[in-house]
């Protein structure tokens, strides 16, 4: 070892390091995995962990703290459980589960944690927000007065949905629930509404079909798809709706209108039941945990029409729930019916009659009602419900072979024509003015006694004829002006001319 003096620069660096204060110790809490289940893990040694905190396992899997017990934590896994082993280390992250938010998400397909599922680069996010948030208070909300056009005749006319409303879509499997929600998203091409489709527990091929439909229509560029498939861990299915709502809240805070579809909350409830039973929580009715109502209420209460002081935007929620054998009084359906502002019920009885969309107007209801409906639709809506309800009652009565008078026969013919006019192929939303044209033509008797195939062809003729001819009326509808008598007469004259009829055949007494 030589006694040569150090260079001045090196000596000064060593002196500064020796004279600087020692770095403070870094406290790292490390826990151990004591038990691994199908979607959950039990962790010990992290006594200071918080509820909903994100944990990182040594294998790279993420988890969310769901149960806090004195000597252990119940953790919901957000990744495959087969990567975990008992005795594995686990660390706290000191932050709750969050997702990226911002305009960079629009047009993307992501999972429940915000990671891309479309093969593209990471999402260009503005920031991250926790998936759990308190619902806005009363003073942060405004009345729901603006309509959300779905493009579906039966809904826009008789079960109107408003911007900021929570409208439940309910029915047995294979009755067209996803089609109703998807058509509503497709119809937003005529508006400035941003759409979010949240698939919870759906098969991968079903989600792929939805994405392909959005892509073909060009609406994917204005939609966010949050996918948590049935092949993934139940933890991702559980947090997916909250992640989608958090993404929607960012845009609502900027003053935008957002439509969020939760497809469906039946699978969401089942995933939460599975996690709760694995964590040994006490089961209640139908083995669901006691807080299942709160799980859905705290999600859907975050939707609404917000005041200018709270951003002025809106979040419209369309939750989907599946029933079994038309049992509307089951646990999860009744919970969601009581939380939401109305329901669109899709009836298997109408499906068997080949009536699509199979909206049962006798059971469907919108608790916001006409307050959020185009004024031009209000008169038509009242007559439509009365005509269909009388027709269905008479239709059941006529099956007994009873002799019918001429007025009753006329009502049966008119009701059958109106019901046929409500038919609509999926993925083909109809503009509001054309809907009025078709409905007024049916109510005016222009479809009476037509065969079913002829009614469908006639509706196509009316749609072609009204595309340009109703531009003035369409503008007044968009401005929420009432339908004047001259407008009604002009619509009926246009329909008569398009169908080659000399008169409307209108009879107000039928």
Active site residues per annotation = 367
CA dihedral 321, 189, 220, 112 (to 10 degrees): -40
β partners of residue 99: 129
- Smallest CA-to-CA distance from 43 within 92, 102, 2 is with 92
Calculated CA dihedral for residues 210, 211, 215, 221, nearest 10 degrees: 120
**Token output for 451:** 């065969």
Of the candidates 425, 412, 297, which has an alpha carbon nearest to the alpha carbon of residue 354? Answer: 425
Closest to 121 in 3D by CA, of 139, 107, 140:
107
Token pair for 448: 């009476």
Whether residue 169 contacts residue 343, with contact meaning beta carbons closer than 8 Å, is answered with yes
Spatial distance between the Cα atoms of 439 and 74, rounded to a whole number of angstroms = 56
Region of 49 on the Ramachandran plot (φ > 0 left; ψ -120 to 50 alpha; else beta)? beta
Cβ 362 vs Cβ 392: under 8 Å: yes
Q: How many CA atoms lie within 13 A of 482 on its CB side?
A: 6
Closest CA to 263 of 215, 186, 355, 196: 196
One DSSP character per residue, 394-453 reads HHHHHTT-----HHHHHHHHHHHHHHHHT---TT----HHHHHHHHHHHHTTTTTT--HH
Query: What is the distance between the alpha carbons of residues 444 and 466, in angstroms, rounded to a whole number?
Result: 17
Task: Catalogue the long-range contacts made by 391-399 (C-beta closer than 8 Å, 24 or more residues apart).
Answer: 391/415, 391/416, 391/418, 391/419, 392/362
Cα dihedral 151/153/156/157 (nearest 10) = 160
Report how far residue 282's alpha carbon sits from residue 305's, in angstroms, rounded to the nearest whole number: 37
Helix, strand, coil % over all residues of the chain, rounded to 5: 45, 20, 40
Report the distance separating Cα 185 and Cα 188, nearest Å.
5
Give the H/E segment covering residue 57: strand 53-57
CA–CA separation, 216 vs 119, rounded Å?
18
Q: Which residues, 6 or more positions from 424, have their beta carbon under 8 angstroms from its beta carbon?
A: 152, 153, 154, 356, 357, 430
């Amino acid at each position: 070892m030589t006694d040569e003096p150090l260079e001045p620069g090196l000596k000064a660096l060593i002196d500064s390091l020796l004279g600087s204060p020692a770095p403070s110790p870094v406290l790292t809490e490390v826990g151990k995995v004591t038990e691994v289940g199908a979607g959950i893990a039990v962790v010990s040694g992290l006594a200071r962990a918080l509820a909903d905190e994100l944990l990182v396992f040594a294998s790279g899997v993420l988890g969310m703290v769901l149960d806090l017990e004195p000597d252990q934590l119940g953790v919901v896994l957000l990744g495959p459980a087969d990567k975990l082993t008992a005795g594995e280390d686990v660390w706290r992250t000191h932050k709750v589960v969050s997702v990226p938010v911002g305009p960079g998400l629009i047009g993307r397909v992501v999972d429940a944690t915000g990671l891309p599922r479309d093969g593209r680069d990471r999402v260009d996010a503005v920031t991250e927000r926790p998936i759990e948030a308190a619902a806005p208070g009363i003073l942060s909300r405004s009345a729901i007065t603006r309509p959300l056009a779905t493009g579906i005749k039966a809904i826009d006319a008789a079960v109107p949905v408003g911007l900021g409303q929570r409208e439940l879509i309910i029915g047995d499997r294979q009755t067209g629930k996803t089609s109703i929600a998807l058509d509503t998203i497709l119809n937003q091409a005529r508006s400035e509404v941003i759409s979010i489709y949240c698939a919870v527990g759906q098969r991968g091929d079903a989600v792929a079909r939805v994405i392909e439909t959005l892509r073909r229509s060009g609406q994917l560029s204005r939609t966010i798809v949050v996918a948590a498939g049935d092949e993934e861990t139940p933890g991702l299915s559980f947090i997916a709706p909250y992640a989608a709502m958090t993404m929607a809240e960012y845009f609502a805070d900027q003053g935008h209108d957002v439509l969020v579809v939760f497809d469906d909350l039946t699978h969401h409830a089942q995933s939460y039941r599975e996690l709760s039973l694995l964590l040994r929580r006490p089961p209640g009715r139908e083995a669901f945990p006691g807080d299942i109502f709160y799980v859905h209420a705290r999600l859907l209460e975050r939707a609404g029409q917000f005041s200018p002081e709270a951003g002025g935007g809106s979040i419209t929620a369309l939750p989907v729930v599946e029933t079994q054998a038309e049992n509307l009084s089951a646990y999860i359906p009744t919970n969601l019916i009581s939380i939401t502002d109305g329901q669109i019920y899709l009836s298997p009885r109408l499906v068997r009659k080949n009536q699509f969309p199979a909206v049962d107007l006798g059971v469907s209801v919108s608790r916001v009602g006409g307050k959020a409906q185009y004024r031009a639709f209000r008169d038509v809506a009242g007559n439509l419900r009365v005509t269909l309800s009388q027709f269905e009652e008479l239709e059941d009565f006529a099956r007994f072979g009873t002799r019918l008078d001429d007025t009753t026969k006329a009502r049966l013919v008119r009701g059958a024509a109106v019901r046929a006019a409500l038919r609509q192929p999926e993925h083909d939303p109809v503009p509001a003015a054309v809907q009025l044209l078709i409905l007024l033509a049916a109510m005016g008797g222009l479809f009476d006694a037509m065969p079913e195939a002829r009614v469908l062809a006639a509706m196509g003729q009316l749609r072609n004829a009204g595309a340009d001819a109703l531009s003035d009326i369409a503008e007044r509808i968009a401005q929420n002006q009432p339908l004047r008598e001259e407008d009604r007469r002009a619509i009926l004259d246009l329909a008569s001319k398009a169908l080659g009829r000399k008169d409307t055949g209108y009879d107000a007494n039928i």
